[in-house]
Chains A and B, each alone.
Chain A
Amino acid sequence: MIRRVNFTGRRKIARSRLHILLYGTQEGGLAFDAGLDVETLQLPLEARIYVEAYRRTYLRRFACGTVAQPRMPRGQVLDGLDAGAHVLFRVKIVDGKGRILAGADRISPRRPEDEDAGKLCLLPVEFADLGSSIWRLDLDGEWPSLQLNNRIDNIREIARADEAFQALVYPEVVRQILTHIVIAEDHTDPDTDPDDWMSLWLRYAIGLMGRRALPPSGGEDQVVLDKGRWIDDAVEAFCASRRLVDRFVQSRQALERP
């Protein structure tokens, strides 16, 4: 379980107060709109608001006025990024001495396609030169992402619609992510930080299993074995919810038909 001490009393800005929409521009780049509800946070009116967009070593920072007079970005272009890049955001509200009074980090923006469905993307997809590998899960960044080899023609379409690819790759992706969260990080309580990506993934897995069965916490041998079983159950529930076996068999039969 992850515990953090909050010495300075900084406030967490809940995701429900934030609205960041990221979309492609006509020039093939990226732009975003940001909205923030600061009225009920009870912060000093002169505190300054900053929004930062970041991805690996890419960082752009935008001064967005004060609590009294917020000026949130609309149509703000993120120069130097392709339309497919997965960017995260953080928001800071800062006093005159540089102390953070309230903040939110690792905010995965919504895309127009999520906007319609009211969904949050748990696993962004990126395209990179992966040499001889078809896919790789990147767990080193601030948010996990599935990398697909851009040397393969139509890889975007294959990942989206190919039943065999989905049946063989996605369960393993889910397994690796849950193993990282539950075993490597020992993050087992989805309520520790409800907006954190690990908590969101845990809630997703629990939702798939249809019961509130939290994985055990700790690093003892028996506990790790139990965690492994919990992950097996979650992956099984993922496969069942998507009927992967049926869809895989049907796609094979369709291929074999003369």
Chain B
Amino acid sequence: MTNRLRILNDRGIALYRDYLDALRAGSERKPPLELLDDPWCSARVPLDVTLEAKSFPSKLAAGKYLDEVLRLLPQSQIERQVGLWSWLTLFYFDEVCPVNRYGRRVTGPHYRYILDTDFRRFHRHLLLGPWTAYRLHGDNAALLLYGPLHQTNRFFIELTARQALFTNRGVIDAATHLYYDPKTGRARRGAGSPERKPGTLMRFIDVVQQLDLTHDLFSMKGPEVAALLPEEFTPWRQKAKEQRSFLRKLFKRDR
């Protein structure tokens, strides 16, 4: 198997799609890694990009790594390149579709592996999504990108579905400030409720969409945006404050 980045062509994508269909139908075939360097199924990219076959502890780590290795390729040319992102998920197939404890690979919808350029499914691609989030927000994308690569969390789904929020630095910083627990490396318990409970993610989205009309949230830091939120967010602000003072004390003690 090559570790030089290539692009699957139509034939390669069709065969990859057939494999995903077979997996869904219960097949236990191995991933068709031979497509990766088969000249009938893939083509070289103009620049020489070498990838490391590795496992990623989280989506954040994957986004960071891809941002580093793809940096030389122009964003506008790779962002919607279906063959490139499909090649990448096949290269990292053990990461995006790992074998579970029953010895089976459980696949999700095709758009998680083969890029679908429809905006509703675009960011749900398991590698393009983390790459985009990291490129936009760096380590502040921790809330969107916690957890293993093959799982997508609710914060990612809800916030990337709203372009104006997803691209807004202040909004993502505020969500991370309120809901991300750096101690556990995950979201705080109860923050991502799918219901509109006071102070939780869905209410955050409702309120921030209103604030975005009246305030230049992009230029603000997370705590500044959080301070604009109404009373129902006080418990989360309090948790974030406690967390910061805890980290500050820890930092002082270590010094």
Contact = CB atoms under 8 A, between A and B. Distances in A.
Interface in B120-173: 120, 122-123, 132, 136, 163, 166-167
Contact of B220 (A8, A98, A138): A98
Interface string B214-228: 111111100010000
Contact of B119 (A8, A58, A85, A141): A141
Nearest to A61: B218
Given A8-B214, A57-B136, A128-B117, A82 B82 contact: no
A130 interface: yes
Contacts of A99: 214-216
B216 A94 contact: yes
B interface SS class: helix
A10 interface: yes
A92 interface: yes
A129 B80 contact: yes
Contact of A140 (B79, B119, B215, B220): B119
A57 B214 contact: no
A54 interface: yes
Interface string A113-147: 00000000000000011100000001011100000
A212 interface: no
A159 interface: no
A56 B163 contact: yes
Contacts, number: 61
Nearest to B123: A57
A81 B76 contact: yes
A80 interface: yes
A158 interface: no
30 contacts: A4-B213, A7-B214, A10-B214, A50-B216, A50-B219, A56-B163, A57-B79, A57-B123, A57-B132, A57-B136, A57-B163, A57-B166, A57-B167, A58-B167, A59-B136, A80-B76, A81-B76, A82-B76, A82-B77, A92-B216, A94-B219, A98-B220, A100-B213, A100-B214, A100-B215, A129-B80, A129-B82, A138-B119, A140-B118, A140-B119
Interface of A: 4, 7-8, 10, 50, 52, 54, 56-59, 61, 80-82, 85, 92, 94, 98-100, 128-130, 138, 140-142
Interface of B: 74-77, 79-80, 82, 117-120, 122-123, 132, 136, 163, 166-167, 213-220, 224
